[in-house]
Structure 1
Amino acid sequence: MERLNFKHTIPIQLRFNDFDALGHVNNSVYFSFYDLGKTSYFNEVMPEMVSSNDVGVVIANIQVSFLLPVYPNENVAVQTAVVEIGNKSFKLFQQLINVDTNEVKCICQTVMVGFDAKTKATKLISDEWRKAMIDYEGRGDLSKTV
């Protein structure tokens, strides 16, 4: 993947219970960090749509690669970017970084699918969501519709 220019970063406060017996952040905790990044990203990119309680997307696939451990007292943040938008889905790329050293600690790739909670079926990514993500990222090449 080409080097991304992340426009969205959210600091993460490490908590005592994030750490395991080995003294580093437990691998299961990273998912909550990435969820915080997704929530903050969507609130910044599409606040009016997120506040309507009709978000309309679910996670279809998530892949995480743990690169370096995170230890207590590290200053970390999650960076989030949309890297591709299809007809019914879009792909997010996220990474957890040490903001003091810029070391990438972990990377996450997520496929989000448009979903109608009433019909329990997939749905198209709306033009409003598509435009908001493309405008925020400043990349007209994100849309991969067929």
Structure 2
Amino acid sequence: MERLNFKHTVPIQLRFNDFDALGHVNNSVYFSFYDLGKTTYFKDVIPNMSSNKEVGVVIANIQVNFILPVYPNENVAVQTAVVEIGNKSFKLFQQLIDVDTNEVKCICQTVMVGFDAKTKATRTISDEWKKAMIDFEGRGDLVKAV
């Protein structure tokens, strides 16, 4: 993957219970960090996103690669970018970085799918969402032909 220019970063506050017996952040905790990154990304990128809980997006696939451990007192943040938009789905790329050293600690690739909870079926990603993500990322090449 080409080097991304991340436009969205969320600082992460490490908590005592994030750490395991080996003294580093437990692998399962990274998912909550990435969820926080996703939540704030959408809040910032699509501020008038409908609060309708019947229509939204769900995670269809998530892949995480753990690169370096995170230890107490490290200053970390999650960076998030949309890297591809299809008709009913889009791909996010996220990474957890050490803000002081710029080391990448972990990377995450997620496929999000439009979902209608009422019909329990996939749905197209709205033009409003597509435009908001394209405008935020400053990349007209995000939309992929399906």
Contact conserved, 1:43 with 1:50, CA < 8 A, in 2? no
Q: How far did residue 52 of structure 1 move?
A: 4.6
Q: Which residue pairs with 2:46 in the alignment?
A: 46
Q: Which residue pairs with 1:134 in the alignment?
A: 134
**Alpha-carbon distance in structure 2 between the residues aligned to 1:35 and 1:76:** 15
Q: Which residue pairs with 2:80 in the alignment?
A: 80
SS in 2 for 1:142: coil
Q: Which amino acid aligns with 2:105?
A: K
Pairing 1:16–2:16 present: yes
SS in 1 for 2:5: coil
Contact conserved, 1:82 with 1:92, CA < 8 A, in 2? yes
**Alpha-carbon distance in structure 2 between the residues aligned to 1:55 and 1:43:** 16
In structure 2, relative to structure 1, the CA distance for the partners of 1:119 and 1:42 (3 Å cut) is same
Q: How far did residue 47 of structure 1 move?
A: 1.3
Q: TM-score, normalised by structure 1?
A: 0.97
In structure 1, runs of 5+ residues without a counterpart are: none
Q: Which amino acid aligns with 1:43?
A: K
Q: Which residue pairs with 2:25 in the alignment?
A: 25
Identical-pair percentage = 87
Q: TM-score, normalised by structure 2?
A: 0.97
Q: Which residue pairs with 1:2 in the alignment?
A: 2
Runs ≥4 residues deviating over 3 A: 50-55
Q: Which residue pairs with 2:101 in the alignment?
A: 101
Q: Which residue pairs with 2:36 in the alignment?
A: 36
CA RMSD of aligned residues (A): 1.0
**Alpha-carbon distance in structure 1 between the residues aligned to 2:22 and 2:55:** 38
**Alpha-carbon distance in structure 1 between the residues aligned to 2:76 and 2:120:** 37
Q: Which amino acid aligns with 1:125?
A: I
**Alpha-carbon distance in structure 2 between the residues aligned to 1:55 and 1:6:** 27
In structure 2, runs of 5+ residues without a counterpart are: none
Post-superposition CA distance 1:106-143 (Å, at most 9, x none): 00000000000100000001100000000000000000
Q: Which amino acid aligns with 2:115?
A: F
**Alpha-carbon distance in structure 2 between the residues aligned to 1:50 and 1:11:** 25
Aligned residues: 146
Q: How far did residue 94 of structure 1 move?
A: 0.1
Contact conserved, 1:42 with 1:50, CA < 8 A, in 2? no
Moved more, 98-107 or 44-53: 44-53
Pairing 1:116–2:132 present: no
